[in-house]
Each structure stands twice: as structure tokens, then as C-alpha cells.
Amino acid sequence: MTNGKITAEYIWLDGRKPTAKLRSKTKIINGPVRKLEDIPMWGFDGSSTEQADGHFSDCQLKPVYYIPDPISKGNNLLVMCEVLNADGTPHVTNTRHILAKVAEKFKDQEAWFGIEQEYTLYGKNDWPFGWPMGGYPSPQGRYYCGVGFDEVHGRPLVEAHLKACLEAGLAISGINAEVMPAQWEFQVGALGPLEVSDQLWLARWLLYRLGEDFNAYAKLDPKPMNGDWNGAGGHTNFSTRPMREQGGIEVVKQACEKLGKFAKQHIRVYGADNDKRLTGKHETCSYKDFRYGVSDRGASIRIPMETANKGRGYLEDRRPAANLDPYQICTALIETTCGEGFNPDKYGWGNFEFPEDKVVTAAPNVPLPLK
Ligand code: ADP
Ligand code: MN
Ligand code: MN
Ligand code: MN
């Protein structure tokens, strides 16, 4: 734009229940921006986003992270924001400010996260992209990492998204076609807790926004199609510095044991409708069970083969659903493995109620091949 003016797209999480969605609007500001403080606070009508009632509806937008806008280019920006109340206190839907505190408290642990975002592309008429309208493709088995017009659907959007993320400097580590046709995955990380979370939300925003140009939209529903079709997860790979150092496998093991003790608490923030996905089938462990094991894709927590062989590395929490809020997942993982344990009630969190009559059972763990 002219006169040093740029566009800043302010992006925030709304108050939708049980799963927050993204909202954004454009502000024309003076550029170029050199630091976060150059981006002004802004506001919005919270009564239109389920974040306030009509009588007292102003909410504030506090910029917390920004990247170059790979769509409108130039000096234009995408700006991730926290939502504050009119008096400047964090809004009840602001999960990020909790993670910011927890990340600061345990920063000496140097936690890293790599999040695998699975999603399903839908076309017009709310049916998976490329599927026969109102009908089904042949059974899954050939689509994962497939190539060809008969195997994968939506690659032009997927690749435009990857390119946009890379241009914006997001730490995308890979993409792949998934088991169910029209299902895809990208991975963000490994990064620290706030960075991975902000980047995941921004990568999601870019996916939705680019979908507008391709007549497709991404659904993060954990079980978009009933029947013998894989669900969509948000596997979260996690390590602390002691896990990555020599002998770290022992720390990984201790973390798994602790995660077993807080399985119920974690599941409550791992995504709405996750019980439809964590059935014990389709490469999942039931949400009622907790198991960890080396190379076990039917466990709650998988210890990658490489980590077991090297004796140090990371763990993969396979339970989070595609509709996860990374601010909550990272908080839970850090508090349980580095602190006293995670309690969603402390923050008024939980988008999935664990049925009281169900008990988490810890099945015998697969022994670690310790060398
Ligand atoms: P999968 O084999 O489960 O499909 P992916 O390759 O899709 O695994 O994703 C693995 C993720 O784990 C990547 O984002 C990667 O950056 C991340 N990762 C690798 N090492 C670590 C580590 N030490 N700590 C946290 N995350 C890690
Ligand atoms: Mn993966
Ligand atoms: Mn996957
Ligand atoms: Mn995985």
C-alpha cells in the first residue's frame, strides 16, 4: 500500500463451544512494523463472537505474535492476538495467557513440541472433497501418502497452503496425504510451547483462508465420517531438555507414567467428540485406557523407535484430536510431566466430559528395549 500504510490481519479465538474457531479482521496501520510494540491494540464486538452480551460487548485485541502475510505480501502482516476484557484482564476464552504463565514457570525445562495437524477437506454441499456426491469411494488402504487423481483429492490447495506457510516463515516440518481420502496432515515444530501454538493457529487460518479460493474448506472434526474411515488427530510430539540428553529415555518413561496418572484430566481438554475417534480401532487407543509403548501406534503414548534405540529423544501423545487447542495441550503436557499434574478445573477448561462411570485402566505397558 502507499504512504507507508500496511494491512494487519488481527486473528483471534472466538467463544464458540465446545470448540473455539478463528475470527479475523483487517486494520490499516503505519508500516513497516519492526517489533511487536509497533502494532496497536484493537477491539471487536464480543456479542457477535459469543464472548460478551449485547449490553457490554467490547473486547480488546492484544497483538502477541506476527508473521508476514504470504497472501497479500508486501509489508503486510498476520497478527495473532489474545482477547482481553474491556478492563484489560484476560478474557475467559483466552487460553494462551495460561500457557504463557506455565511456559515461563517451567522454561528451564526447554520444552519442545511438534504438532501433527490432520484435517479433512470438504467441497460444496458439505461432502468430502473429491468423493462421489452423496456416495463413498472404495475402502481405505490405498490413499495414505498416495499419488494420482484416483488416490488423492485437493492437492492444489494443500500445496498452496504449504507454500504460504513457508513464505510466512512458519516452522512446517512436513505434509502428507492421510488414510481417509480427502484427509491430509501438516506438522508444525519442533518449537517452544507458545511458538508452536501461535504458529499452528496461524497455519490453520491460512488453510481456511486459502480454501476460500479453492472452493474447499478444512474440517477439524475428530471423526468426520462414521464407519470404517480413520478419524483425524493432532498427535503432539513432546520433549524436555533432560529427555533429549543422554539417558533421557528414563525421563521419557517417567513422563509416560505420570501421564498415565492424569489421563482423565488430559482427555478433558484433548478435543470435543474425541471419544468417537479414540475407540481402540484405526490406530488409536480407547480414551478409557492408557498405554504407552515403543513404536506402538495403538497406544496412548508412542515412544518412537529412534528414541528407544538412541536412549534419548521424545514421546508422541497420540490422544489429542484434530480440533485441539494447542494452548491447552501444551499447558497439560508441561504441568503433568514437569510439575504437580494438570487440573482442567483450575482454569475452567474442558470441552469433553469424561463419563463418570468409566475408569481409566492402565493395561500392562509394553517393556522398553533398554540397552
Ligand atoms: P509420525 O511418524 O507420527 O507421522 P511426523 O513426522 O508426522 O510423525 O511428526 C513428528 C513431529 O515431531 C515433527 O513435527 C517433528 O518436528 C517433531 N519432533 C521431532 N523431534 C522432536 C523432539 N525432540 N521434541 C518434540 N518434537 C519433535
Ligand atoms: Mn505424521
Ligand atoms: Mn497422521
Ligand atoms: Mn503421529
pLDDT at 221 over 50: yes
**Ligand 1 close to Cβ of residue 187 (< 6 A):** yes
pLDDT at 359 over 70: no
Q: Are residues 293 and 299 in contact, defined by beta-carbon separation less than 8 angstroms?
A: yes
Q: Are residues 193 and 330 in contact, defined by beta-carbon separation less than 8 angstroms?
A: yes
Cβ atoms within 10 Å, residue 87: 6
pLDDT at 1 over 60: no
Instruction: Give percent of the chain above pLDDT 70.
Output: 95
What's the CA-to-centroid distance between 314 and ligand 3, angstroms?
17
What's the CA-to-centroid distance between 327 and ligand 1, angstroms?
18
Q: Distance of alpha carbon 294 from its chain centroid, rounded?
A: 23
How high is the pLDDT of residue 349?
96
How high is the pLDDT of residue 2?
63
Domain segments of the chain as ranges: 5-94, 103-362
**CATH of the domain spanning 5-94, picked from 2.60.40.1180, 3.10.20.70, 3.30.200.20, 3.30.300.30:** 3.10.20.70
Quick one: pLDDT band at residue 367, thresholds 50, 70, 90?
very low
Nearest CA to ligand 1 atom 16: 190
For 334-353, write each residue's pLDDT tens digit.
999 999 999 999 999 998 77
Measured between alpha carbons, how far is 15 from 52 in angstroms, rounded to an integer? 9
For 73-106, write each residue's pLDDT tens digit.
999 999 999 999 999 999 999 999 999 999 999 9
Whole-prediction pTM: 0.96
Strand 77-84 relative to strand 5-13: parallel, antiparallel, unpaired? parallel
Q: Name residue 361's beta-bridge partners.
A: 289
Helices within the chain (DSSP H only): 96-105, 155-167, 193-214, 241-244, 248-261, 263-267, 305-310, 326-338
Atom of ligand 1 nearest to the CA of 187: 14
Q: From 110, 113, 119, 187, give the residue whose CB has the most ligand 1 atoms within 8 Å, as the site to mutate.
A: 187
Q: Which of the 8 DSSP states describes residue 170?
A: -
Measured between alpha carbons, how far is 177 from 147 in angstroms, rounded to an integer? 9
CATH code: domain 103-362 is 3.30.590.10
Maximum C-alpha span of the chain: 66
Q: Are residues 222 and 273 in contact, defined by beta-carbon separation less than 8 angstroms?
A: yes
pLDDT at 65 over 50: yes
Quick one: pLDDT band at residue 361, thresholds 50, 70, 90?
low
Atom of ligand 1 nearest to the CA of 302: 3
How high is the pLDDT of residue 56?
77
Between 279 and 331, the more confident residue is 331
For 130-172, write each residue's pLDDT tens digit.
999 889 999 999 999 999 999 999 999 999 999 999 999 999 9
For 180-192, write each residue's pLDDT tens digit.
999 999 999 999 9
Among the residue ranges 1-15, 152-166, 260-274, the one predicted with the least confidence is 1-15
What's the CA-to-centroid distance between 319 and ligand 1, angstroms?
15
What's the CA-to-centroid distance between 124 and ligand 2, angstroms?
27
**Ligand 1 close to Cβ of residue 239 (< 6 A):** yes
pLDDT at 48 over 90: no
Q: Name residue 63's beta-bridge partners.
A: 81
How high is the pLDDT of residue 362?
59
For 280-333, write each residue's pLDDT tens digit.
888 899 999 999 999 988 999 999 999 999 999 999 999 999 999 999 999 999
Q: Calculate the average pLDDT of the chain.
A: 93
Q: Are residues 189 and 215 in contact, defined by beta-carbon separation less than 8 angstroms?
A: no
**Ligand 1 close to Cβ of residue 290 (< 6 A):** no
Instruction: Go through 90-116 and write b for each residue having 16 or more CB atoms within 10 A of its CB, e for each that does not.
Output: bbebbbbbbbbebbeebeebebbbbbb
What's the CA-to-centroid distance between 301 and ligand 4, angstroms?
10
